[in-house]
Chain A
Amino acid sequence: MNQYLLSILVFLPLLVGLALLFIPADRSRLFKWLMIIITGIQLILSVLVYVQMPRGKNVPAGVYEEASFQWVEKQSWIQMELGNWGKLSIEYFLGVDGLSAAMVLLTGIVMFIGAVSSWTIQQNLKGYASLYLVMSSSIMGCFLALDFFLFYLFFEFMLLPMYFLIGIWGGERREYASIKFFIYTLLGSLFILVVMIGLYLSVIDPVKTAQEMELIEQASEANAQVILQVQEALAQGKIQNDQQVKTFNMLAMMDAGNYIPDSLLHKLSNFALGGFALRFWAFLALFIGFAIKLPMVPLHTWLPDAHVEAPTPVSVVLAGILLKIGGYGMIRIVFSIFPDGAVDFAWFIGLCGMISIIYGGLNALAMADLKKMIAYSSVSHMGFVLIGLASLTSVGVNGAIYQMLSHGILSAMLFLVVGVLYDRTHDRQIAHYRGLFKQMPHYSVLVMIAFFASLGLPGFSGFIGEIFTLTGGFGSKVLPRWIAGISVLGIIIGAAYFLWTMQKMFLGTLWVKGKEDWLRQMPDLNTREWFMLLTLAILTLVFGVFPNLIFDTSVASAAALVHWIFQG
């Protein structure tokens, strides 16, 4: 069981999702329960993974060292001969370290909450449930894959269920929003694909190459000495073409010693394009690919459309986890494989983060639609992740991971809040409601918790995330101070739009646009809504009061990553 824990975590929903196709379509309650049960199991398993992670400063960190990953599963998947160009090896390679543990936990939580909130979906539940479960698999796969091909497979495969989930169950302009989402993110992933092709043709797997060279017989015999021997031979050009085993293994891509000397992505390659080394362009392409997913201003324009048109549970998943894959991809792939680029571009990334924070915030301030406002607040909050990452300090990277988790929980809560209102009146205009506290007091209290937590009130998780990323930004050796300084304004803007919205919608005398008709349809929260919102509220409070629950697992890995970047 323990040995295949990660595989079960990834593939359980997929298998059930496919099995659903054989159940008659009219058993809608069964589909709803199955969705909740399966994501519930996934949640339990991800908590199991999380609590067993090593904690503290001096524990195995993962990042670039295979031995210190947890629950590693490594199997040869595709081996093929490439003409005269050696061999290609694709592995089924899963593992968790401090960088991904929090994301795995978040996926478990948000997918479960999303499944519970899917209870209100009416039409064609069979299709919905299987798409939702398939998507759950591919998201989990993204956070666990350590082989680039495998990662890319999960990364791309996510788009298709998402396209249909928005396109079939979405709002009025769902067709436009879904195709925009699909093409936008596909464009991003093509940037990633370019670099993936370049990387795998430049990098060899030292262990498998050693086997080809007949230095060792079994992969298990490999040790540091053998690897060093292979790398030296490679640097001296002593390994023939047909003995080189090219690999998609991300960890092999991180080690500069594994690059073939005359390959274009080698650190010392003389090759230049437009006056810059190809590594420079590769870093930029990868960064843009993940920045679209994050999303970073000015590549964010798909997000408001997708969010507004998506049904509530899909919005929850989209904001709660899908955006995090952008941030996670930057840590795991962009920064780890191109540490040189990370240092060179830190100011640029920081600047983009700052612009995202301010621009997203100002846009949120101007929105008349509650869901759009929250969508833009996501853009703003994800900007903090960029600041934390770009600071290249241990505090900042920890903060970025924490901010992703915190935003995952809070944005899920915020979109649920919108969903509650939308389910009752089918109207999301902020100006159409006033004084809701009198009509729905319980709901209003939970909304206040969500808003205050999001605007960064101490005691809730949003505060910790913002403080740590900004501290990282101020203490950074590579970022100018003013970037973090201006970003602080983002917190004030955030406070402005959340408080303003709260004042307009929940305080004052009761008035709604639809008058009596609407009020009749507006009872307070039901049990299911209570359960979802309360769970998330408790989580944000717990993580806000005990931030070490998260930091303990990520601190060693974050430090290792920063050390890795500056050493490399």
Chain B
Amino acid sequence: MFSNTLLQQLNAKLDEVLGNLSLLSPELVLAGGILLIILLDLIVKKKGQFVLRIAALGILLISGLLVEGQYQVAFDYRGLRTGMLWVNPISVFFKFIFLLAGILTILLSTKQAGFISDRLKWGEYFALLLTLILGLNLLAVSVNLLMIYLSLELVSICSYMLAIFQFNKKSTEGAIKYLLFGAMSSGFMLYGMSLLYGFTGSLEIYDQAFIDNLLKADPLLLLIVFTLTVTGLFFKIAILPFHIWVPDVYEAAPTPIVAFFSVAPKAAGLLVLSTLSGVFMLPTMSKSSYSFHWIDLLAILAISTILVGNLAALWQNNAKRLLAYSSIAHAGFLLIGLVAHNPLGLQSLIFYLGIYLFMNFGAFLFIEFFATYYVGSNKYDIREYQGLGIKYPFMGICITLIMIALTGLPPTAGFTAKLLIFSALWESYQTQGWDLLLTLFIIGLLNTAISLFYYLKIPFYLFLRKPILKSPQPNLPKPSMYGQILLVILVLMILVLFFKADWLLQLSDKVLKEHIQLML
């Protein structure tokens, strides 16, 4: 009798699990793909690198097709949700960003794109990259604190390992720093989550009990708990004061991986942060006795992140460190989208992330490509670019456009992204009237002028300085077609999305409208 009901329950549970499996199809493909790559690595010896690359690309593409399917479903059936995961339009959009970033990373990890690493283990490299994407995909759909923590750890562990893949002294140092800071921040995060569980007795963030019990708790204490909870995310997004690892890791890790780090985990962190701050805003909003607000905290962090990132970048001569600080500053700008906490803010955040993907991959591609073939002993030193722009004008023009886009000037989509994010902030200021928002607005814009100074450094050395070597170096190869085409595609995206910003915007608007309907 007893065993019969248990069996029935088990059956029902099994049916539910099997029924929900379709939710996870892209992730399942990824998981299978990881195993496949490890197996392939054992089998193929000759031409191993090539086979592995094709396999990894294929897996990502198949997973992408499945995500595309979810996209249709998500629009038609108003989201698919279980207790742990919730596949909604926004998370599907973010999965696209991760997959695109993954594909670009693989395309960048080739000799033709300037990525040369003799000691690299390609099998592990691709397997870890796919695992990282799997973690990000899971993170994007998690609505349960435990699930968030687990997927974040999956992401972190893969990141620590990928950071060390140059296998030299510097990368060991960078990776250890990364590991220590990462372990510390995820410790904080876990502590915060356990306190949240203590307050509410629930781990599901959209659970009514979770929200009700939060509203009963002491707001000041909650603010501390919330801050602890999001530290792990701040670490991934590189928001002050959890940004210290960034320059060291960026300098030490393989460049394609750095490009991936600078976009995909940041995007995932921001997505989860936006979900959490939607919930966290409620209790701090309703109690007027405490003048300090969750949004205030985010605004102050955004201001300081932008300032620190930009000011530190001014002094860098190493291209990778420069882009590291620039990515910290951009994290601050992205955070503005959450500070604005209106639909336009979220929409502009999505747009910004999409553009940021192209800009950053373009910049890192250029750096690695150029460093490998044309720069002297000091691989990433910007000062070694002297006069190379005149010699290779095409590459020079491309990188100038990317730098202009990173600064946020027209005619590049970087400008549109900044325009939108500041518009969202203005709207928010118009409705709330908080002076802190205006301060953020002004400091953010002023920083555009500051950032111009260091972004211009690269075109400056490329074009304005005379070459150091008088005689032409004999064995410089011609820029490879592969690298150039990749760069042109990225630059074209930046330009096209300026002149036809509606394409990406309409998509983000559709995603957002669907999402808001689901929330109501």
Q: Using a CB–CB distance below 8 Å, which chain A residues touch chain B?
A: 21, 78-85, 124, 127, 152-153, 156-157, 159-160, 163-164, 167-168, 174-175, 178-179, 182-183, 186-187, 190, 193-194, 197-198, 200-201, 262-264, 271, 273
Of B347, B422, B452, the contact of A82 (CB 8 Å cutoff):
B347
CB contact between A175 and one of B393, B464, B501 (< 8 Å): that residue: B464
* Residues of chain B with a CB closer than 8 A to A200's CB: 423
Known: A78-B502, A85-B344. Is A186-B464 also a contact (CB below 8 A)?
no
Q: Whole-angstrom distance between the alpha carbons of A178 and B516 in the complex? A: 48
> B211: CB under 8 A from chain A?
no
**Are A83's CB and B393's CB within 8 A?**
no
Contact B449 A83 (CB under 8 A): no
Min CB distance A445 to B, Å, is 39
Say yes or no for B493: interface residue by CB 8 A criterion. no
With both chains docked as a complex, state the minimum distance between the C-beta of A185 and any C-beta of chain B, in angstroms: 10
The answer to the question of B430 belonging to the interface, with a C-beta cut-off of 8 Å to chain A, is yes
B254 CB to nearest chain A CB (Å): 32
Give the Cβ gap from A306 to chain B, nearest Cβ, in Å.
Answer: 14
A186-B448, A186-B449 given; A160·B430 CB < 8 A? no
Query: How many of chain B's residues touch chain A, expressed as a range?
Result: 35 or more
How far apart are the CA atoms of A163 and B453 in the complex, in Å?
12
Specify which chain B residues have a CB less than 8 angstroms from the CB of A263 in the assembled complex. 430
Q: For A21, A124, A186, which residue has the most chain B Cβ atoms within 10 angstroms?
A: A186
In the A-B complex, the 6 residue pairs with the smallest Cβ-Cβ separation, listed nearest first, are: A83-B343, A83-B344, A81-B509, A80-B505, A167-B464, A153-B410
A124 to B410, CA, bound (A): 26
Question: B433 on the interface (CB 8 Å rule)?
Answer: yes
CB-based nearest B residue for A184: B449
Q: Is the CB of A83 within 8 A of B433?
A: no
Contacts of A167 in B (CB 8 A): 460, 463-464
Which residues 435-459 of B sit at the A interface, judged by CB distance below 8 A? Answer: 438, 441-442, 445-446, 448-449, 452-453, 456
Q: In the assembled complex, which residues on chain A have CB atoms less than 8 Å from the CB atom of B106?
A: none
Which residues in B have their C-beta under 8 angstroms from that of A182? Answer: 452, 456
Cα distance A194–B429 in the bound complex, in angstroms: 13
Closest chain B CB from A247 CB (angstroms): 13
B419 at interface by CB-CB < 8 Å: yes
A83, B404: Cβ atoms closer than 8 Å: no
Instruction: Identify A83's interface contact among B342, B410, B426, CB under 8 A.
Output: B342
A198 to B429, CA, bound (A): 10
**B187 adjacent to chain A (CB < 8 Å):** no
**Pick from A85, A152, A179: contact of B460, CB under 8 Å:** A179
A-B contact pairs, 5 of them (CB 8 A): A83-B347, A156-B415, A167-B460, A186-B448, A187-B449
Q: Is the CB of B423 within 8 A of A153?
A: no
User: In the assembled complex, which residues on chain B have CB atoms less than 8 Å from the CB atom of A163?
Assistant: 456
Q: Specify which of A80, A84, A168, A183 is in contact with B464 (CB 8 Å cutoff).
A: A168
Interfacial chain B residues near A183, Cβ < 8 Å: 449, 452-453
> Please, which residues of chain A bring their CB within 8 A of the CB of B456?
163, 179, 182
Query: Which residues in A have their C-beta under 8 angstroms from that of B55?
Result: none
Task: Judge if B29 is at the interface, Cβ distance under 8 Å.
Answer: no
Query: CA of A182 to CA of B448 in the docked complex: distance in angstroms?
Result: 12
Q: From residue 401 to 440 of chain B, which have CB atoms closer than 8 A to chain A? A: 404, 409-411, 415, 419, 422-423, 426-427, 429-430, 433, 438
Given A21-B393, A83-B346, A264-B429, 11 more A-B residue pairs with CB atoms under 8 Å apart are A81-B505, A82-B344, A82-B347, A82-B423, A127-B393, A153-B410, A157-B411, A175-B460, A183-B449, A197-B423, A263-B430
Query: Which chain A residues border B502 with CB–CB below 8 Å?
Result: 78-80
In the complex, which of the residues A78, A174, A175, A183 has the most CB atoms of chain B within 10 Å of its own CB atom?
A: A78
Indicate whether B506 reaches chain A with its CB closer than 8 angstroms. yes
How long is the Cα–Cα vector from A183 to B449 in the complex, in angstroms? 6
B501/A80 in contact, CB under 8 A? yes
- Shortest beta-carbon distance from B479 to chain A in Å: 15
Is A190 within 8 A of B460, CB to CB?
no
**Least CB distance, B413 to chain A, in whole angstroms:** 12
Chain A residues within an 8 Å CB radius of B441:
194
Question: What is the chain B residue whose CB lies nearest that of A150?
Answer: B410
B512 within 8 A of A: yes
Q: How many Å lie between the Cα of A510 and that of B441 in the bound state?
A: 61
Give complex CA distance A164, B460 in Å.
9
Counting CB contacts under 8 A, is B390 at the interface? yes
Q: Check if B452 sits within 8 Å of A186, measured CB to CB.
A: yes
Q: How far is the CB of A480 from chain B (nearest CB, A)?
A: 33
In the bound complex, do residue A271 and residue B433 qualify as a contact, i.e. CB atoms below 8 Å apart?
yes
Given contacts A156-B409, A193-B445, contact A164 B463 (CB under 8 A): yes
The interface bits of chain B over 228-249 (1 if a CB of A lies within 8 angstroms of the residue's CB, else 0) are 0000000000000000000000
CA distance A80 to B415 in the complex (A): 16
Segment 492-520 of B: residues with Cβ below 8 Å from A: 500-502, 505-506, 509, 512-513, 516
- How long is the Cα–Cα vector from A193 to B346 in the complex, in angstroms? 21
A83 to B460: give the CA distance in the assembly, Å: 39
A273 lies within 8 A of B438 (CB): yes
Q: Which residues of A contact B426 (CB under 8 A)?
A: 197-198, 201
Q: How far is the CA of A186 from the CA of B408 in the complex (A)?
A: 11
B149-196 CB contacts (< 8 Å) to partner A: none
CB nearest to A273 among chain B residues = B438
Give the complex CA separation of A44 and B415 in angstroms. Answer: 34
Instruction: Quote the shortest CB–CB distance from A85 to chain B (angstroms).
Output: 5
1/0 contact trace for B338-360 toward A, CB 8 Å? 00001111110000000000000
| Contact indicator A153/B344 (Cβ below 8 Å) | no
Q: Report the separation of the CA atoms of residues A273 and B430 in the bound assembly, to the nearest whole angstrom.
A: 12
* Residue numbers in B under 8 Å from A160 (CB-CB): 400, 404, 409
Q: Which residue of A lies closest to B505 (CB)?
A: A80
Nearest Cβ on chain A to B503's Cβ, whole angstroms: 10
Residues of B contacting A273 with CB < 8 Å? 438
Chain A neighbourhood of B463, CB < 8 A: 164, 167-168
Q: Are A190 and B448 in contact, with the CB atoms below 8 A? A: yes
A517 to chain B, nearest CB (A): 27
Closest chain-A Cβ to B401's Cβ sits at a distance in Å of 9
Are A152 and B464 in contact, with the CB atoms below 8 A? no
Q: Name the B residues within 8 Å of A82 (CB-CB).
A: 344, 347, 423, 509
B198-220 at interface with A (beta carbon < 8 Å): none
Q: B441 CB to closest chain A CB, in angstroms?
A: 7
Pair A83/B512 contact, Cβ less than 8 Å: yes
Which one of A80, A157, A159 has the greatest number of beta carbons of chain B within 10 Å?
A80
Establish whether residues A124 and B343, one from each chain, have CB atoms under 8 Å apart when the complex forms: no
Which of chain A's residues has its CB closest to B433's CB? A271
Contacts of A85 on B, CB cut-off 8 Å? 342-344, 427
Closest to A81 in B: B509
A-side contacts of B433, CB under 8 Å: 271
Pick from A127, A186, A197, A262: contact of B422, CB below 8 A: A197
- Name which of A81, A152, A194 has the most chain B CB atoms within 10 A of its CB: A81
* Chain A minimum-CB-distance residue to B409: A156
Residue contact B501 to A201, C-beta cutoff 8 Å: no
* CB atoms of B445 and A201 under 8 A apart: no
Q: In the assembled complex, which residues on chain B have CB atoms less than 8 Å from the CB atom of A79?
A: 502
Closest chain-A Cβ to B315's Cβ sits at a distance in Å of 16
Instruction: List the B residue with the shortest CB-CB distance to A77.
Output: B499
- CB pair B449–A264 under 8 Å, yes or no, is no
Q: How far is the CA of A301 from the CA of B410 in the complex (A)?
A: 25
Task: Pick the contact of A190: B390, B445, B464 (CB < 8 A).
Answer: B445
Which residues of B have CB within 8 Å of A187? Answer: 446, 449
Tell me, in angstroms, the Cα distance from A167 to B466 when the chains sit together. Answer: 11
Contacts of A168 in B (CB 8 A): 463-464
Q: Chain B residues near A194 (CB, 8 Å)?
A: 441-442, 445
CB distance from A86 to the nearest CB of B (A): 10
Complex-state Cα separation, A273 to B439, whole angstroms: 12
With a cutoff of 8 Å between Cβ atoms, the chain A residues found around residue B448 in the complex are 186, 190
How close is B120's CB to chain A, nearest CB, in angstroms? Answer: 37
Q: Contact: B438 with A81, CB < 8 Å?
A: no
Name the residue on A nearest B422 (C-beta).
A197
* Residues of B contacting A178 in the complex (Cβ-Cβ under 8 angstroms): 464
CB closest residue in chain A, given B404: A160
Residues of B within 8 A of A159 (CB): 409
| Contact pattern, B 461-493, Cβ under 8 Å of A = 1, otherwise 0 | 001110000000000000000000000000000
